[in-house]
Amino acid sequence: MSDNTKNSHEKPGDGIRSMKSTTAFRVVNFELYAKPNIVVMSIGAACFGLALGYIAYMRQKYESMGYYSAIDADGKEIFEKKKSKWD
């Protein structure tokens, strides 16, 4: 028998899903065996885009108020009010 008739349940594009593996390997590497879901992917991409948009909005808001980002002595990012040399 040839390989194609022995494993007739395989179809093109299955990739690693068609190989024999242990349950532990499948649990640890779940993303290799899960089929893509366009609904979940689009919701995740929308949430990620909204989070990035909110971060950009907040940064722009603080910069328009006269603040700038600076690094503290501890290594943390802080926002300080811009000061003139004349103050």
The answer to whether position 64 is within a domain reads yes
Q: Say what the pLDDT of residue 1 is.
A: 47
Q: Say what the pLDDT of residue 52 is.
A: 98
Owning domain of residue 30? 20-76
Task: Domain count for the chain, please give it.
Answer: 1
The answer to whether position 5 is within a domain reads no
The answer to whether position 49 is within a domain reads yes
Whose tokens are 């603080």? That residue is: 62
Whose tokens are 């349950």? That residue is: 23
The answer to whether position 10 is within a domain reads no
Write out the chain's pLDDT in tens, 87 residues.
Answer: 445 555 557 666 666 667 788 888 888 888 877 788 999 999 999 999 999 999 999 988 887 888 878 888 888 888 787 777 776
The answer to whether position 85 is within a domain reads no
